[in-house]
Every structure is written in structure tokens, then in C-alpha cells.
A and B are shown apart, each in its own frame.
Chain A
Amino acid sequence: MARDTGPGLARGSTARGRGATRSPGWALAVILTLICVVAGLVPGRPGTVALAVPFALLALSGRDHRTGARSGTEPLVLISTDRHLTRSTSTLRLLLTPRPKEEPTKTLAAPSLVAITLAAPGCPADGLVLQADEECPLVADIPVSGEIAVLSYGSAGVSADVVRPTDFVQAPPVRVSVLPQVGPTLARPVSRRLSGLSGSHTSRRPGEGGELRSIAPMQPGDQQRRIDWRATARRSTDQDMLMVRRTFADAEASVVLVVDRANDLPASTEDWFAAGTSTLGQGSLHVARTAAATVAASYLAAGDRVGLDDLSGTRRPLRSAAGSRQLEQIRTRLAGMSVVPRRRHRRDPVPPQGAVVIIFSAFLDEEPARLLRLWHAQGHPVIGVDCVPVLQRTESSRAQDQTVRLTLLRRRLLLEDLQTEGITVLSGSVQDEPGRQSEREHGAPLPDAAGTDLDTGLRLLARQSRRGAGLSAAPGTARGIR
């Protein structure tokens, strides 16, 4: 028998759709109706039949509805940042609003309720049932720095009689990017091989600058404004020879910040072993971001050039430049740095000539140490910044305890080797004295400590470099180190 393949059937097929099914609530209502009616009719008990009335009405209500038949690719609600509300340092206010209706559908009634599932990172999901046109502000925690999805969510519509649900549709998660904070200005050790013709540092080249190099008789080529009349009066009694002041040229320093983002070591050691650890806490990557932003701001404030690279090699390095815009670019790039496994480099990165190289790493493996040694051997002033945060020893088993101890021991040996080879490694984390105290009390010998903190270490290096150069530096400037 030939079947009708006209428009009517085609419409029916489309409406059913692939995967379109009845809702479980509707099926349950039909089953209960049948059971009540049969169980009432057989012994002749109208009371039992009466139990079926609500279920029969619900089954009738949901007779035309199927889940999956509705083209529900758009979520019913949207969550956006609430710009009218102030944001504190650790929380973000969001606003959940119903999605504006594009065009009213005649055949399908809009659901009167919306069931929203909210999932913050590291937390079990929460449900929220609202009226379809109801708004709801939300408060979510944000990371201390970095870019993550702070809230994943999805929604499904529910009719008021609950037997006509729509499909659950997941929405794009709410992502935020928190720029790393810039700490107080740090001392700036620089290389002896400075470049450029302007800047706040004094190079060893003769040229235009503020640092006196010598006072000598005027030669052809000397500018008239260089004549030192007092020295001329003092030294040339016959007034037959003019004396000029010669200076060291001003120059700018170049710094390359290299961030190792191969791992993000949480402060709580138990989280080292957790698969779905929250990224909201202070991990080693946060310490690296904050320390790198502070170092960059310190150098850029003095007019130096700062570049940024990462050991994973997934993005092109940010070229060295000066200025406040460069600082914003560096902070933005740092905020976007998440954990990425290292790629195998065809060749090692090459820092600019005479640049100070600062590596921010947790020093869990040999690679950052190898690069420090390499660049040190090439004549670059190198500094390692240990970014492991102040650890909270929360291991829950003996195996975890031993793993943590072995990891920290390996790190310690690595850092000691670097120190022995004359490579300075500073601690990038804030030295939380109560935390350190508790670790000492609990018997942990602080094998993770890299030594001097960043501020003190850089100040010592800057002073050392001034002494090594044998030149006095103007306030706020530093002489080269090697």
C-alpha cells in the first residue's frame, strides 16, 4: 500500500525529530492513571478511580509535548556580569536574566518555570528554579589572578504542571580574566651591557648623560655647551685652554621575563593529588603572575624595556618595549597564562643582547634550571624566581606525604645546585610568617624555601652590581651585574 509522503507526513516527521521522546513525568502520569483506573474498576471502587483524575489531567496536558522536539539550542537564561554593582576583590556579582524572546511561537507554549543548574569550579552543581521571566543576581568567587570559567550553567524549561519539560541546554560558561596585582616597586639590577641612548641607567660608553666621566681639554668635536667654565677658570690660568665635561651615556636596560607555566602547584599539598582542583586558590602560577607583573612594573617605571616569554612556547613572545602600555600588555598576557605542557623546542629561546633574564618557575624539573645555566653561560645576568607558594601540608596519606617530601627534596637539590653555580634564585611568594611558623612547629624542615624573598634579593643584587661596577649610581638607578 502506497503511503502518503506529502507535506503532512513531512511535517509530522520533522516535528517528531530525531531523539524526540516523551517526558518521564508524562509517562509516569499515564502509568499511574492506568493502574488507578484498572485497580478501581476491577473491585468496583470509584474511590480508587478518583485517584487517577489528577494524573489523567496531567497526561492530557502533556499529550502534545515531547522533549527533544523543540529546537532548543539556545539556553533560556543568560548570566552576565552585573555592571551596576560594585565588585569586591574576591567576588564577582553576576546577573541571571531570561533570554529575550525573539518571536512568539503559536504552537508551543513557553515554559513558565526555568530550572537552572549552576556549577562553580571545584564545587558540586547547584539548582535554581525561577519563574521564566524572573531575574536573579548571583555572587561567584573569582580567582586571585588569571583567566578561568568562574561559572558553568545550563537551563531547562518546566511547565507549571511539571509534565512538560524542555531539553537541558548548556550555555557558554562565564569567563573572567583577573589581571595580576602589581606590588610595591622593586630594586632593578641591570646588565653592564646596556643599550640605547636614553634611559635612567648610566652606561660605560662615553656620550650624553648625567654621570661625569672626566674633565678634559676641549677637542675638535666637543660641543660648546659642554664647556665647564669653573674648571676652565681653575685649571687654565692663562685662559688659553677650555675644559669640557665628558659624561657616560645614558642607556636603558632590557629585561626578559620568562614564565614557566607547565604546572600550577596549589598551596595545599593535598590538592596536588586531586584531579579537579579549583584554580581559584593561590597556586604557583598566581605567584609567578604577581611577581612578574611587579618586576615588569618596576623596570617599566624607570623607562626600561621589558619583554615576556613562556617556557611552554605556545605563544609568540611579547617583544621588549617600554611604557605603560607595555605593562598593560604584559599583565593581560600574564592573566591569560594557564597551565600548558611544554613543547619540545627546536632551539632554545635567545634573549636580546645584554638583557637580564628572570625565570619564574616552580622548579619541579630540570628545564628551567638548564635554561638558567645556558643563559648564564652566555653572559646574561640571570635570576630565578621560585614561585611555589607557602605550602599548607594537608596530605591525607603516608604515600602522599612521601611524595610531597621527595618532590620538595628534589626541588631543594636543584635550587642548591643553582646557588652553587652562582645563579641567584629568589622566593617569589609572600613570606607568611605565621604559615612558616606552623610548618616549623610541625617538623617540616622547609625544604621548599628558595631563600631570600624577591624584594630583598633584588635589592642585594642591585647593590652588588653597583659595587662590582665600581661606580656610584644615581638614586633610583642601578649599575650592571654579571
Chain B
Amino acid sequence: MARRAAQPAGVRAVPDRGGLLPLWTVRCTAALVAVLLGAVVWGGSAWLALPLVVAVVAAVLPSTGLVCLSLLLLVVPYAVSTPSGWPWLPVFVAGLHLLFVLYLLLLPLPRHGWISLLALRELALSYLRIQAVAQPVAVLALLLDDDGSNLAVVIAGVAAVSGWSLWLVGRTPR
């Protein structure tokens, strides 16, 4: 017996104004940034597919674990495989930060949705404020590269960062 196709169960409530971007553009941007950064640090390796797949899945179905895995799949290969004095370091710093912000923005949101341009502007301003500090540090790091390892510096640095982290974690929130 021929049957008619079932109607959709309901109709979405939709915003009725301009100045909104669908969330899939943010997802695509996050996936694209992750793919580009992954292609840079995993270039020439057969394992390139792994970070790409993780990045795309993390952009489409974000969860804390996937986001963390995707970011680590970019940070660790950078630390291990990129040569010293790599000139794209400022771009990588900016890209990694952008990816982090986009992932965290998508984390609590449903799969479909919209984001207003004003909200994007707010995000962009905050992003640029942090990048205003991060970019000079990245350039400075480029200049200081190939300095070689120093045990005392490593121990002092790790101790300082660990102490800082413990201070952050143990701090009583207001």
C-alpha cells in the first residue's frame, strides 16, 4: 500500500530579524581552523587523518573530552616536530586561541542555532585583547629561539608554573 510521507513532528521557533549567523558557520570555521593547524603540524604524516577527524567531530558534536583531545593533537605535535625558529609561530598562537574560543563557545549549545553579529563582535574584541599580549610574546619567543635547554631554567620554570596553577586552583572564588 502506498503511503504518504510522515510530516515533521513540529516546527522550530526561529528568530525573526537580521544580524544573525547560523551556528553551522561557527562550526565550519572551527573545523576549518583545526584542519589548517593540523595540516601544518602533521604535514607529511599518514596520521594527519586522526587530528582532522577529531577536529571535525569536535566542531560538530563538541564535548569537553573531544575538545581537549583535538587541542592536544595540535599542541603536542607542535612541541615535538616543528623546527626551532618556525616563522608561523604567531599565526599558530592566534589559531590555537581562536580554536579554543570557538570550541568553548559551541560546547554548551545545541547542534542548530544562531549567533548574533554583536555577540561575535564581543567575542572578537575579547580575543583581540588577549592576542595583544600573546602576539608580542610569540615574536619575542621567535627571537629567543635556539637558546638550548638549561636545567635550572626548566626546574625554576616548571616550579613557577606549578605554583601558579596551584594558586589558581586553590584560590577562593568571590
Interface residues of A (CB under 8 A from B): 12, 15-16, 20, 22, 24-25, 28-51, 53-55, 57-60, 63-66, 69, 93-94, 107-108, 112-113, 115, 117-118, 120-131, 134, 136-141, 150-151, 156, 158-163, 165, 168, 268, 270-271, 274, 276-278, 280-281, 392-396, 401, 438, 442-444
Decide: B100 and A120 in contact? CB cutoff 8 A: no
30 A-B pairs (CB sep. < 8 Å): A28-B71, A30-B168, A35-B75, A37-B161, A44-B147, A44-B148, A47-B82, A47-B85, A50-B141, A63-B168, A63-B171, A93-B16, A113-B123, A118-B13, A120-B10, A120-B13, A125-B112, A127-B113, A129-B105, A130-B116, A131-B118, A137-B16, A150-B13, A160-B125, A163-B104, A268-B6, A268-B7, A280-B11, A394-B4, A401-B1
A108-B174, A112-B122 known; A33 vs B161 contact (CB < 8 Å):
yes
Decide: A394 and B142 in contact? CB cutoff 8 A: no
Residue in B1, B123, B133 whose beta carbon sits within 8 Å of that of A57 in the complex: B133
A33-B161, A47-B86, A66-B173 known; A120 vs B11 contact (CB < 8 Å):
yes
Contacts of A24 in B (CB 8 A): 64, 104, 107
Decide: A41 and B154 in contact? CB cutoff 8 A: yes
A32-B100, A112-B122, A162-B101 known; A123 vs B141 contact (CB < 8 Å):
no
Docked Cα-Cα span, A47 to B138, in Å, equals 7
A30-B165, A127-B23 known; A94 vs B173 contact (CB < 8 Å):
no
Chain A residue nearest to B72 (CB atoms) is A35
A50-B93, A139-B13, A139-B14 known; A129 vs B71 contact (CB < 8 Å):
no
The answer to whether B158 has its CB under 8 Å from any CB of chain A is yes
Decide: B10 and A58 in contact? CB cutoff 8 A: no
A50-B138, A271-B6, A395-B3 known; A31 vs B68 contact (CB < 8 Å):
yes
Docked Cα-Cα span, A44 to B90, in Å, equals 18
The answer to whether B28 has its CB under 8 Å from any CB of chain A is no
Contacts of B118 in A (CB 8 A): 130-131, 134
Chain A residue nearest to B162 (CB atoms) is A34
Decide: B131 and A54 in contact? CB cutoff 8 A: yes
Contacts of B50 in A (CB 8 A): none
Decide: A276 and B75 in contact? CB cutoff 8 A: no
- Apart from A129-B116, A160-B123: 17 A-B pairs, beta carbons within 8 A: A28-B71, A29-B100, A34-B161, A37-B158, A37-B161, A40-B79, A44-B150, A45-B84, A47-B82, A57-B130, A57-B134, A63-B171, A64-B174, A118-B13, A134-B116, A161-B126, A392-B7
Decide: B9 and A122 in contact? CB cutoff 8 A: yes
The answer to whether B2 has its CB under 8 Å from any CB of chain A is yes
Docked Cα-Cα span, A24 to B106, in Å, equals 13
Docked Cα-Cα span, A396 to B1, in Å, equals 11
Contacts of A163 in B (CB 8 A): 104
Docked Cα-Cα span, A459 to B113, in Å, equals 52
Contacts of A126 in B (CB 8 A): 12-14, 110, 112-114
Contacts of B10 in A (CB 8 A): 120-123, 141, 278, 280
Nearest-neighbour CB distance to chain B for A59, whole angstroms, equals 6
Contacts of A442 in B (CB 8 A): 1-3
Nearest-neighbour CB distance to chain B for A334, whole angstroms, equals 23
The answer to whether B157 has its CB under 8 Å from any CB of chain A is yes
